[in-house]
Structure 1
Amino acid sequence: MNPPPEAAATIFGDRLPLAIEYHRLLATVGSERGFIGPREIDRLWDRHVLNCAVIGEAFEEGASVADVGSGAGLPGIPLAIARQDLKIRLIEPLLKRSTFLNEVVDELGLDNVEVIRGRAEDPEVRRAGRVDAVTSRAVAPLGKLARWCLPLAHVGGRMVAMKGASISEELERDKYDVRKAGGADAEIFFAGESVLAEPTRLISIRRVK
């Protein structure tokens, strides 16, 4: 098992032991159940745990945040460990993944996290109430993501998605779909620039209607 990089102590502070245990669960149980590919195990800290945790820079104190398509808990679990003040909902439709998420939440004692099994567009998910922000990682193209995520945020809330280098092109291509979903004021920015060699690229879109 790889030890945490120096940046992990800066990002997680006194909650670093929780991050180490989550890393262990991903590398063992997560890998055994097929959520993490064998080639990713040696890269879990940099490519998965730390780059998800730093997105906490994008959220205000005490915000409620929904993680759509949480999978093995990325970015929601690292975010919840790094920012104990946030109220996190992990939204995941698949039973085996939502089961793993509940196991992780229980084992780590994350009392600021709730797991909801379902899709973002499901009525029961939307009945859970709107949140301040909705985040996601490698879930869908921007237009489709906006249709799924923006309705989960209250008017004035935001979608804050982790995206790759082509996000500017995605935004240009899908700008009509974003507007149709009620989104505006798109902003592309980076998180973790002071602690990571490769900062995390994010796009923030505000829900205006």
Structure 2
Amino acid sequence: MFASDRLELAERYTELLATEGVVRGLIGPREAPRLWERHVLNSAVLAEAIPDGVSVCDIGTGAGLPGLVLAIARPDLSVTLVEPLLRRTTFLDEVVAELGLAHVTVVRGRAEDLHGKATFDVVTSRAVAPLERLLGWSMPLVAPTGATIAMKGQSIHEEITQARRFLSTWRCGEPEVLVVGADVVDPPTTLVRVPWADPKRIGWPLARDAKRRSGRRDRSSVKREVS
């Protein structure tokens, strides 16, 4: 899951979660012994569903799950971590600096703060909200040919049913449920992928009109605007 030259970075990040993350209240003490299996590997397998060399925005990233783990596993990606709480973004900034992750930008703010300012090839999240509400936050950030790829649980099919009206109104494509990491984590990780139905007829004006930002220079501009 992690290349040999990235494994040490993943182990160090896990160590920081288990120590500083617990002290700062970012991770519960009971989670510390099972961080690697339950959280880090569970997030890392998301890489199976991400194309090469794209821009990724992880909304509500918290302590960096799954976005920071994805950035460690995939140095080919440009990753933006979006989180509103200062104590979390402070931790993320420190981890990014210590691990030398030059392809990662930390933004303190909410997903809505970026609406109309930037779009990304992939927008990720982990246990943020029910699908309909999540799409309201993430789809305005999705580029015309991009997609939301969210980590979800067993209730995803029910959530898709409940979101049907929303999906139709905003011209979202048919949700695709993916199962990844079957040989890595038990149980495997369930994802839902939601693209636009037609890249030329995006229903959400903010996503249709926003400038696509994929380089570090552009993402830095987003950081200044939100701050």
Instruction: Settle same-fold status: TM greater than 0.5.
Output: yes
1:108-119, aligned counterparts within 5 Å?
108-119=99-110
The correspondence of residues 13-28 of structure 1 with structure 2, limited to 5 A, is 13-28=4-19
Query: Could you report, residue by residue, the CA deviation over 1:116-156 in whole angstroms, capped at 9, with x for unpaired residues?
Result: 1111111xx23652110100001111001001001101112
The CA distance in 2 between the partners of 1:147 and 1:103, in whole Å, is: 30
8 A contact 2:132–2:163 mirrored in 1: yes
Equivalence for 1:121? 112
8 Å contact from structure 2 (residues 131, 159) kept in 1: yes
> 1:185 maps to what in 2?
174
For these two proteins, the number of residue pairs brought into alignment is 198
Q: Which amino acid letter does the alignment assign opposite residue 77 of structure 1?
A: L
Partner of 1:60: 51
Percent of matched pairs sharing the same residue: 51
CA distance in 1, matches of 2:3, 2:181: 12
Among 128, 136, 141, the alignment partner of 1:147 is 136
Q: What does 1:1-12 align with in structure 2 at a 5 Å threshold?
A: 10-12=1-3
Query: After superposition, where does 1:88-127 map in structure 2 within 5 Å?
Result: 88-122=79-113, 125-126=114-115
In structure 2, what is the Cα distance between the partners aligned to 1:29 and 1:181? 41
Counterpart of 1:203 in 2: which secondary structure?
strand
TM-score by length of 2: 0.84
Higher relative contact order (Cα pairs below 8 Å, separated by 6+ residues)? 2
- Aligned equivalents of 1:24 and 1:181: distance in 2? 42
List gaps (5 residues or longer) in structure 1: 1-9
In the alignment, which of 145, 148, 154 is matched to residue 156 of structure 1? 145
Q: TM-score, normalised by structure 1?
A: 0.91
Counterpart residue number, 2:224? none
How far did 1:106 drift? 0.5
1:180 Cα shift? 2.9
What code does the residue aligned with 2:158 have?
Answer: E
